[in-house]
Structure 1
Amino acid sequence: MKWKEPLSIHHLMLTNRIVMPPMATRAASHGYIDEEICKYYQKRAEKGYLGLIITEHMYIDKQGKADPNQISISRNGDIGGLRQLTRCIHREGSTRVFAQINHAGSIADPIVTRQQAVGPSPVLHPRQKQSQVLPRELSVEEIQVLVAEYAAAAGRAKASGYDGVEIHAAHGYLLNQFYSPLTNHRNDAYGCDTLEKRVHFHLQVIHAIRMVVGTAYPLAIRFGGCDYQPGGSTINDAVEAAKLFATAGVDLIDVSGGMNFFVRQDHTEPGYFRDMSSAIRHHVSVPVILTGGVQTVEQAEDLLVTGAADMIGVGRAILQDAEWPKRELGK
């Protein structure tokens, strides 16, 4: 069966092609890992049934905190707890684990961060209400600070024993806001008039991370390549951007939604982003992950066999049932 085929990323061997994608537990007090979070992931890593776990998004800077109980990777003091988490996962068997690093941008809650939200432009996010305060436009100097913070967070992930790191550039968060024409109205080097400018921030983050972790450390990007709404990013945009990411040094492209977050209106079928993942996969040489609507290993196998992706993420089913890996993959 294709899902059982191993996959190599540099020196790292994934024993199969089923992934637990990042899903927020919102359980970290003051951003720190505790025993309950470790138990949550350890149970899902049990006996190494899964090929890969990507842990929930962690904030790189308090200004980009998405939730009061989001995990932090913004401080050197976070490394001890993160190392405890990776050890809990690794001791269960062959399952590998990536860290997902993120900045919420304009949809960070000022009540949580105690700072004004920031973004590419002073425009409301499509999911925000008209009554909400406009975000402040980031200056070029501030963007450079954030580039360094993404890189520092990736370094902490490596120091914590993670097998790789994933940049979160989907679901309407900061990097996705720079990529989407719905939220990027700039006219500078990060502006909206060309695709290259819309992903300039992404490419700088990729380069900065590579300078910190080296060329052989697995690097993924969760990419909200299409907004699936008028005036937003398109699948053609997604293909061209993915090519740029692969050339810049990304080893794995994890496809998901953009301003539509991780859902797609009027679509619930297994692999409902497969039109985008298939198009990207046809144009890049790095593996592609597809997540969305998959409930069974048979559905995952069908998506792999038909060329929709190289790996399949199973989200809600594993979130709701810690026994899913054992029941579906331990047959």
Structure 2
Amino acid sequence: MSKTRLFSPIRIGSLNMRNRIVIAPMCQYSAADGEMTDWHHIHLGHLALSGAGILTIEATAVLPEGRITYGDVGLYSDGCQAAMDRVLTSVRRWSNMPVAIQLGHAGRKASTEKPWLGGHQLSPGEKNGWKTAAPSAVAFKPEYDPPQQLDRDGLKRVRGAFADAARRAAALGIDAVQIHGAHGYLLHQFLSPLSNKRTDEYGGSLENRMRFPLEVFDVVREAFPSDKPVTMRVSATDWAQGGWDNAQTVVFAEALEARGCSAIHVSTGGLSAHQQISIGPSYQVPFARTVKHAVKIPVIAVGLITDFEQAEAILTTGDADLIAIARAILYDPRWPWHAAAHFGETVDAPEQYLRSQPRQFKDLFGTPAG
């Protein structure tokens, strides 16, 4: 019996998690032509030994032109699938942690340089650059190459690519799919009036702006096994005047729930280059709280959650059902171990590491993973 909310089990759809710590998807910009490399063996294998409740594979493009950078992971070809299979086979040999994948399309924020090389957009004529696509021909920044507005054939191709990637994820035995509808990428671009200037049935009213993201959810839900969860990550606000906001997010979340969405992961921002964000510990939690009050499915909070007591408080006050960590677990890959020790809880650990258990935490490690 757990002493804390953080280490109590939870069920997302049909997926049972031993605790409420989610490893959020984190781009590594280390793939080759969309295919995972040895870096992903190291990175994902490392995190799979952390004792968290679930590990989420980084933003994975459903089309080559949907990658944020030329170093992004994809799941749009047999080569991408085979490379991911090799990594997952290795990870699963040593860890029983459930694995989810975030499927996405970067839209107008695609074709950029790796962050440590500047992160700027690469134009179609530059090495590693290509023409981007979006709801409307509105560039993310004035100096960027404007995207091509998606026509009906383009919309059909994107929908089909999401469905195909979901089928590939199912073939890989992945436990859950998260659809990326946040951080200014394609589906978020459809939702926000700042980036969606269409005059057809996919633009204008809130109902119209939600139409394409909901269509994508529907095809992914149909393509992925019905006994496995499909979730959505959203940005609850653009942090910009006239943009997407929390009230619209609630309507979107309710529509997703009605369609069978298993959980909502609430983040913010990324749509506007002029966003004004008030950053601090738990700065995005109030948005998760608003969504949680509107839906019955689990809600995941994220954003500068670094302290153990902070994470527990978010859950015990009812602001969210799970917490997601990203940079914090890159900095401290044993964050769940240390949280468990702090609260007198237990986590899974590989047999090879059992002797590292400090004497004062003799009950820290539970059933060995693997």
Bin the TM-score by the shorter chain. over 0.9
8 Å contact 1:51–1:95 — kept in the other structure?
A: yes
The structural deviation recorded for 1:176 is 0.5
Shift of 1:173: 0.4
Please state how far the C-alpha of 1:299 moved relative to its aligned partner.
1.2
Kept in 2, the 8 Å contact 1:89–1:97? The answer is no
Provide Cα deviations, 1:70-96, integer angstroms capped at 9, x if missing partner: 111111222222223333443444421
Alpha-carbon distance in 1 for matches of 2:53, 2:91: 12
1:84 to 2:96 alignment: no
Per the alignment, in what secondary structure is the counterpart of residue 212 of structure 2? helix
Are residue 54 (structure 1) and residue 56 (structure 2) matched?
yes
Q: Kindly indicate whether residue 258 of structure 2 is the aligned counterpart of residue 258 of structure 1.
A: no
| Stretch deviating more after TM superposition (273-282 or 30-39) | 30-39
- Per the alignment, residue 5 of structure 1 pairs with 8
Which AA in structure 2 matches 1:168?
A: H
Cα RMSD of the aligned pairs, angstroms, is 1.8
Judged with a 3 Å threshold, the aligned counterparts in structure 2 of structure 1 residues 57 and 305 are, in CA distance, closer, same or farther, namely: same
TM superposition score normalised by structure 2: 0.83
User: What letter corresponds to residue 154 of structure 2 in structure 1?
Assistant: E
For the residue of structure 1 that corresponds to 2:291, the secondary structure is helix
Q: Partner residue of 2:69?
A: 67
Task: Establish whether residue 120 from structure 1 lines up as the match of residue 106 from structure 2.
Answer: no
Q: What percent of counterpart residues are identical?
A: 31
Deviates more, 1:158-167 or 1:170-179: 158-167
Q: Per-residue displacement from partner, 1:131-188 (whole Å, max 9, x unpaired)?
A: 2221111102210110010011011111112101111110000000000111001111
Alignment partner of 2:330 out of 316, 319, 326: 319
Corresponding residue for 1:158? Answer: 170
Question: Residue 55 of structure 1: SS of its match in structure 2?
Answer: strand
Q: Secondary structure in 2 aligned to 1:199?
A: helix
Shift of 1:322: 2.0
What does residue 145 of structure 1 align with? 157
User: Partners of 1:18 and 1:92 in 2: how far apart?
Assistant: 19
Query: Aligned with 1:317: secondary structure?
Result: helix
Ranges in structure 1 where 5+ consecutive residues have no aligned partner: none
C-alpha spacing 1:94/1:6, structure 2 compared with 1 (3 Å): farther
Shift of the 132–35 alpha-carbon distance from structure 1 to 2, 3 Å rule, reads: closer
Runs of 5+ unmatched residues, structure 2: 112-123, 343-370
Q: Which residue of 2 aligns with 1:185?
A: 197
Residues 29-77 of structure 1: CA deviation (Å, up to 9, x unaligned): 222122321121111121x610011111011111111112111111122
The answer for the alignment partner of 2:310 in structure 1 is: 299
Judging changes above 3 Å, is the alpha-carbon distance between structure 1 residues 260 and 118 closer, same or farther for their aligned structure 2 residues? closer
Q: Is the 8 A contact 1:68 1:112 kept in 2?
A: no
Distance 1:291 1:185, change over 3 A: same
**Corresponding letter in the other structure for 2:42:** K
Code of the residue aligned with 1:132 in structure 2: it is Y
How many residues end up aligned between the 2 structures? Answer: 324
Separation (CA, whole Å) in 2 of partners of 1:180 and 1:153 = 25
- Report the structure number with the largest CA radius of gyration: 2
Q: Which residue of 2 aligns with 1:225?
A: 236
TM superposition shift of 1:264: 6.8
Aligned partner of residue 236 in structure 2, secondary structure: strand
Question: How far apart in 2 are the matches of 1:327 and 1:284?
Answer: 32
170-179 vs 63-72, which moves further: 63-72
* Partner deviation per Cα, 1:177-223 (whole Å, 9 max, x = no partner): 000111001111110x2212111111111111122123222101111
Tell me how far apart the structure 2 counterparts of residues 200 and 10 of structure 1 sit (CA, whole Å).
24
Task: Deviation per CA, 1:264-314: give whole Å up to 9, x if none.
Answer: 723212x21122111111111110111101112221101011111110011
Amino acid corresponding to residue 251 of structure 1 in structure 2: S
Establish whether residue 212 from structure 1 lines up as the match of residue 226 from structure 2: no
> Helix, strand or coil for the counterpart of 1:3?
coil
User: Could you tell me how far 1:330 is from its partner in structure 2?
Assistant: 4.8
Q: Taking structure 1 as the reference length, what is the TM-score of the superposition?
A: 0.92
